[in-house]
Amino acid sequence: MSTPTQQPTRDPGPGGRGTLATGTTRKGDAVFKGTSTGAGVLILLVLAGVAAFLIGQSIPALTASPEDLPEGQTVTAYVWPLLFGTVLAAIIALLVATPIAVGIGLFISHFAPRRAAQTLGYLVDLLAAVPSIVYGIWGAVVLSAWLVPIYQWLERNAGFLPFFDGPALPSGRTMLTAGLVLAVMILPIITALSRDVFLQTPRLHEEAALALGATRWEMIRYAVIPYGRSGVVSAAMLGLGRALGETMAVALVLSGARIITFDLIGAANPLTIAANIALAFPESSGLTTNTLIASGLALFIITFLVNFAARWIVSRSGAKA
């Protein structure tokens, strides 16, 4: 970009004490600054646009009288059970996926021989490349059938717990199955981020721990995990964000209704917001559409809050370290 003819402008000139010689790159700088600022502004505009759309389309449903809305309920009454289902499914997914992901991450970063670690890393990343509809079909057809005997066992032997109240659904398309499918789906993102964080543990910390006579497990416990904790938390929050918004897989797997129940293996399970939109939107019109979009707004806000919480946790523990 710079040409010899521009050379003279590089002279700082009188009083140009300590200033950077920016003359030759001024044009490039401007272009780069412009594009990157543009990209930054664009993402804000897109976000604002989505928010404006959701709010604008929700207003008719929020202001309408309950009699005109689907099932004669207020929007809050309509969205509340869905919100419950969304959070429940995401929490199950997170509880299952996070320990496994941390385990895989530690195995790749500290235990596996380099070759095996690389291959395993690729395989986990590959999980992220599988389309969600494939997970949905797999969950509805294969996984749920596998889980039926387990659910029946749980109903017989752990039926006193509200989670396994039953009666166990003979096709196995329950909340627990949906949560497990979601867990598989968020596994790659949590694993990949945890692995990267664990790999960044300062070598000196690890060696110091080993030199003090720590075993490998103690070294991981006292050096690696505390260092990576905030990273794992933010990875889990990113996974949670994905689990909250997952649509097709849940719509296919879950036998859902708009109810609130903690029974994880029964026929009627709380449906999630995204899956409910996917199921009801195609045949909706008028205020029903507005109500569905209002539920989308609720999901948007929840996802936002989760991401804010993740940032907050990371910045807080980052400051402590």
DSSP, collapsed to helix, strand or coil, labels residue 19 as: coil
24 touches other proteins (CB under 8 A): no
Burial 190-202 (b: 16+ CB within 10 A, else e): bbbbbbebbeebe
Nearer to other proteins, 84 or 198 (CB): 84
Annotate each residue in 121-140 with x if it binds other proteins (CB under 8 A) or - if it does not, as one string: -------------------x
Smallest separation, CB 73 to other proteins (Å): 12
241 touches other proteins (CB under 8 A): no
Nearer to other proteins, 192 or 251 (CB): 251
- Find the helix or strand (DSSP H, E) in which 257 lies: strand 256-257
Nearer to other proteins, 70 or 188 (CB): 70
CA distance 131 to 133: 5
77 touches other proteins (CB under 8 A): no
Nearer to other proteins, 116 or 133 (CB): 133
The C-alpha angle with vertex 149 and arms to 147 and 151, in degrees rounded to 5, equals 70
Considering only 257, 309, 313, 314, the residue that binds other proteins (CB under 8 A) is: 257
Smallest separation, CB 59 to other proteins (Å): 19
Q: Record the tokens describing residue 196, joined without a space.
A: 């990267």
28 touches other proteins (CB under 8 A): no
Contacts of 320 (CB under 8 A, 6+ apart): none
182 touches other proteins (CB under 8 A): no
DSSP 264-292: SSSSSEEPPHHHHHHHHGGG--THHHHHH
Smallest separation, CB 284 to other proteins (Å): 7
280 touches other proteins (CB under 8 A): yes
Alpha-carbon dihedral 43, 45, 49, 50, rounded to 10 degrees: 20
Q: Under the rule (CB under 8 A), what is the footprint of other proteins? A: 70, 140-141, 144-145, 148, 167, 169-173, 251-252, 254-259, 267-268, 271, 279-280, 282-286
